[in-house]
């Protein structure tokens, strides 16, 4: 049951839709999704683009929607588990490790994707550079924490 796609769960009633704990993130998701991807597509006043990653909560089975910085690598997306350099990974990292089936909303386009955690050092280094170029604070976040910030790639299913 955990390996089913997000899309198969979206139309079903599994209780309350759960947003990530940060209220700001929930507001971003509400605006982004409520507008069909025409509003709320950037991080606050920075003008930097964000995407919405829809995934399944590992413990609850609830549909989760997480706004993340948009980092593109061709037709794939790079997902960075920075949590602002906090000492622990964000909850969505564990969710994706358990169930790699997600939906990505990039403005008005929603597509099912499969994620994988990047373990190859050469690939990770290349993708990390892309991520830092898209959102420079990632470098500071890595310096701020002892943990290695996880990097995932979302690819078309």
First to last CA, the chain: 18
31-71 pLDDT, tens digit each: 999 999 999 999 877 889 999 999 999 999 999 999 999 99
Whole-angstrom distance, CA of residue 4 vs CA of residue 30: 24
* Topology annotation, domain 6-156: Pnp Oxidase; Chain A (2.30.110)
The pLDDT assigned to 46 comes to 82
- Helix, strand, or coil (residue 80): strand
Domain residue extents for the chain: 6-156
């Amino acid at each position: 049951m955990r390996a089913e796609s997000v899309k198969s769960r979206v139309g079903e009633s599994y209780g309350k839709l759960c947003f990530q704990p940060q209220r700001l993130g929930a507001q971003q998701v509400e605006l982004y999704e409520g507008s069909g991807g025409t509003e709320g597509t950037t991080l606050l006043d920075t003008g930097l683009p964000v995407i919405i990653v829809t995934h399944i909560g590992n413990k609850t089975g609830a549909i989760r929607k997480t706004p993340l910085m948009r980092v593109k690598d061709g037709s794939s997306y790079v997902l960075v588990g920075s949590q602002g350099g906090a000492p622990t990974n964000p909850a969505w990292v564990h969710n994706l490790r358990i169930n790699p089936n997600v939906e990505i909303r990039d403005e008005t386009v929603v597509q099912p994707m499969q994620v994988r955690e990047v373990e190859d050092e050469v690939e990770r280094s290349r993708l990390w550079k892309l991520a830092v170029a898209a959102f420079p604070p990632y470098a500071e976040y890595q310096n701020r924490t002892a943990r290695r910030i996880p990097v995932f790639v979302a690819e078309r299913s």
